[in-house]
Structure 1
Amino acid sequence: MLFLARMDVTFPDSMSDEAKAELMAREKEYSGNLQAEGRMRDIWRVVGEYANYSVYDVADNDELHTILSGFPMYPYMSISVTPLAKHPNAIK
């Protein structure tokens, strides 16, 4: 199943730069592994925001929930998910 997820990140003002850097490094490794496994098909930055759109190819809602809640930045994310279906006009 394909899902489009938008993730917006908001760190608390009280978080240190070191803590943010550590989370960012863990996040990069986690998302890199998902991409290498093919479960995260794509990731796109939203211009001018600390946000992204990602496309996930997973078995079901439960797998997606497990993936999303596993992100190191999950406690600081607002996530919206849209299930995707093939469009009849798609040429691929």
Structure 2
Amino acid sequence: MKKFMLNIQLDGLDNETRMKLLPREQEVVKEMEQQGDIVDTFIKLDMSGIFMTMMATDSEDLHSKLSTLPYYPYMKIEIIPIRVANSINQ
């Protein structure tokens, strides 16, 4: 499994649809966090999207996992593969 940082911008999601989909979105995110697929999430201050850290084998696996989210059709996703920096004792 590899770690990915995602910059997710929501596009074309009106407030009514957002609120309608929100309960299920939160349920699925919680399930993915419990499974270890989602490591961290950070909501952008302007509520336009999120930064998310996820575990997946590759970008295809990543999109497969993300596609279960109700907000997925409204997501513009920038994927950045990352690795954890090792701490160095000095």
Same fold (TM over 0.5): yes
Q: 2:3 corresponds to which residue?
A: 2
- Structure 1 segment 41-80 matched on structure 2, within 5 A: 41-80=39-78
- What is the CA RMSD across the aligned residues, in angstroms? 2.0
Task: Give a deviation string over 1:32-91, Cα, whole Å, max 9, x none.
Answer: 11001111000011122321100001222221110122211111111111011243xx31
Unaligned runs of 5+ in 2: none
**Secondary structure, counterpart of 2:81 in structure 1:** strand
**Secondary structure, counterpart of 1:26 in structure 2:** helix
Q: 2:24 corresponds to which residue?
A: 26
Unaligned runs of 5+ in 1: none
Question: How does the TM-score come out when normalised to structure 2?
Answer: 0.81
Question: How does the TM-score come out when normalised to structure 1?
Answer: 0.79
Q: State the Cα distance separating 1:30 from its structure 2 match.
A: 0.8
